[in-house]
Structure 1
Amino acid sequence: MRLGGQRESSNVEDRRGSGGGLPIGIAGGGLGTIALVVLALVFGVDPSVILSGGGAPESQVSDSRAPADPAQEDQRRFVAQVLATTEDVWTDVFRRGGQDYQPPNLVLFSGGTQSGCGFAQTAVGPFYCPEDRKVYLDLAFFRDMERKLGAPGDFARAYVIAHEVGHHVQNQLGILRRVEQERRGLGEAQSNAMQVRVELQADCFAGVWGNRTQRMRQVLEEGDIEEGLNAAAAVGDDRLQRRARGTVVPESFTHGSSAQRVRWFRRGLESGDVRQCDSFAGGAL
């Protein structure tokens, strides 16, 4: 991605080296160890599922030392620039719809930090908390994407950020609230299926961001789109489950298969039209 000279968002809250506060912890909530491993590798984990009271190990709290690696500063700048492009895109989309876009803060942390949804640990992966309207990201996840998930590249990392901001867009539009209401009383399989639709829409919104950012700024380079699509495939539930335990359980999917995630990300990327992102319309995903 060509981001040199692009502005940086002022909505980045850098907590690295500030300490993590009093840990509330991540309780199992009935999830098995394998399920937690899978969730830890997935983008956009629903915090209400895995963040709750209970106490976290001291080793999971952000240490008090400031990051010394210059590469960390480069990644912070990258995150701030990508976040700025999401602000430009969604401000324009909302304005055209007669609404005001209120951008989220993005919290950078290392090890663990307090969130409005509970104590956030690195192992959870990037997520959006609707309670405080913030995106949480440990930059170590980018390294894991490349080394563990086989999803390298700057556009792959940008996809992560854009997906989480997609959840913020859903929150601001009232979609997350309506889905939460509909999920009440549903069985586990039906509730999971509803969550899959939430995640696929966020993937589509990430694609819309990619399309419109390219039109606005011409930031994409050769190979960028392939990097993004590869990242979407890398975090499909089927691939993650097969990697974690060797078997696939479709009824337990909460984010969609690799094929579905690629399809919806591509749908937004090719159209740039939020109207193409109605994953709740029924029919095949």
Structure 2
Amino acid sequence: MKWRKLRSSRNVEDRRGRSSGGRRLLGGGLGSVVLILVAMYFGVDPAVIGTLLDPGASQSSEQSAPTAPEQLTDEKSQFIAAVLGDTETTWHAVFDSGGGSYEEPRLVLFSDSVRSACGFAQAAMGPFYCPADRKVYLDLSFFDDLGQRYGAPGDFAQAYVIAHEVGHHVQTLLGISAQVQAQGRGRSEAEINALSVRQELQADCFAGIWAHSAEQKRALLEDGDLEEGLSAASAVGDDRLQKRSQGYIVPESFTHGTSQQRMDWFRRGFDSGRVEDCDTFSNAG
């Protein structure tokens, strides 16, 4: 991916190396480990797990100013800032074309654990978006796991992850997330999971819209990049993660979609570049 000459976002908060100020999780015992594994393998919202571990965490989040791009001196953080900046370029254009205005999210880099407005979370839960403070949270060690443990290496695989989380921010701005939450009230667990799958697949499709713009308007993709993105989408499919963790799959517990679904919807967004073609709620595919 040709990212080095991109404009760097000014919306990165570098909290690496700071104490999260969180409580000792359930005494540091087995309970916290089990909850983290549940979140990691079954797609449980980190906000829910975080609140269970630290009930007071949802009431507040750490406040800090963005880090100036010139202060991001390591290559990993520079890459993050460049990709985030390019998603801003894409979504400003999309919102402008529809007569709207895009509100840029913050992206928080952290190490090990973090306090957000959605709760206290640990790195093992993976990247997440918190609608309460409209921030994406990312521990860069996840990218090592993505390549080494899940077989999806490469910078474009990492960019897909960022674009997917930004996709959740777009859903918040469009009111989709609030609609999903409202539709889930009073529903069974299986019905709520099915709604979650549709929401996650749409975020994959929105990530594809960013990739479409990056390729068609700025020629950022290199040979093999699209395949890296598709590989990353496949690596985090519910069926693949469940098979890896427990040896069998439970479709009614899916919250993010199968590997094939995630690849298909990312590819649909990439091929189309249009928000209206990402209606996973009419057809999850």
Tell me the amino acid that sits aligned with residue 205 of structure 2.
C
Q: Deviations over 1:155-189 (max 9, x none)?
A: 00000000000000000111001100100100010
Mapped to 2, the partners of 1:14 and 1:246 lie a distance apart of 37
Mapped to 2, the partners of 1:84 and 1:239 lie a distance apart of 31
Q: Does 1:275 align with 2:283?
A: no
Q: Structure 2: which 5+ runs fail to align?
A: 56-71
Alpha carbons 1:26, 1:118 under 8 Å: kept: no
Report what 2:140 is aligned to: 139
Alpha carbons 2:239, 2:258 under 8 Å: kept: yes
CA 25–212 in structure 1, closer or farther in 2 if over 3 Å, else same = farther
1:263 shift after superposition: 0.5
Report what 1:95 is aligned to: 96
Report what 1:118 is aligned to: 119
Alpha carbons 2:39, 2:46 under 8 Å: kept: no
CA 191–248 in structure 1, closer or farther in 2 if over 3 Å, else same = same
1:14 shift after superposition: 0.2
CA 153–141 in structure 1, closer or farther in 2 if over 3 Å, else same = same
Report what 2:198 is aligned to: 197
1:23 shift after superposition: 3.6
1:36 shift after superposition: 4.2
Q: Deviations over 1:208-254 (max 9, x none)?
A: 00001112211100000000000000000000000000010000000
Mapped to 1, the partners of 2:281 and 2:194 lie a distance apart of 10
Mapped to 1, the partners of 2:18 and 2:208 lie a distance apart of 34
Report what 2:248 is aligned to: 247
Report what 1:210 is aligned to: 211
Report what 1:10 is aligned to: 10
- Structure 1's consecutive aligned runs of 4 or more residues displaced over 6 angstroms after TM superposition are 31-35
- Identity, in percent, stands at 55
1:48 shift after superposition: 3.7
Secondary structure in structure 1 of the residue aligned to 2:213: helix
Tell me the amino acid that sits aligned with residue 140 of structure 2.
L
Alpha carbons 1:26, 1:51 under 8 Å: kept: no
Report what 1:226 is aligned to: 227
CA 26–254 in structure 1, closer or farther in 2 if over 3 Å, else same = farther
1:120 shift after superposition: 1.7
1:164-183 equivalences under 5 Å are 164-183=165-184
Report what 1:52 is aligned to: 51
Secondary structure in structure 1 of the residue aligned to 2:133: coil
Alpha carbons 2:26, 2:32 under 8 Å: kept: no
CA 142–164 in structure 1, closer or farther in 2 if over 3 Å, else same = same
Mapped to 1, the partners of 2:216 and 2:269 lie a distance apart of 13
TM-score, length-normalised on structure 2?
Answer: 0.88
Q: Does 1:19 align with 2:19?
A: yes
Alpha carbons 1:151, 1:227 under 8 Å: kept: yes
CA 42–97 in structure 1, closer or farther in 2 if over 3 Å, else same = farther
Tell me the amino acid that sits aligned with residue 240 of structure 1.
L
1:271 shift after superposition: 0.8
CA 26–225 in structure 1, closer or farther in 2 if over 3 Å, else same = farther
Alpha carbons 2:49, 2:121 under 8 Å: kept: no
1:72 shift after superposition: 8.2
Mapped to 2, the partners of 1:42 and 1:168 lie a distance apart of 21
Tell me the amino acid that sits aligned with residue 161 of structure 1.
I
Alpha carbons 1:15, 1:108 under 8 Å: kept: yes
Alpha carbons 2:110, 2:139 under 8 Å: kept: yes
Mapped to 2, the partners of 1:164 and 1:255 lie a distance apart of 13
Mapped to 2, the partners of 1:268 and 1:91 lie a distance apart of 17
How large is the RMSD of aligned CA atoms in angstroms? 2.3
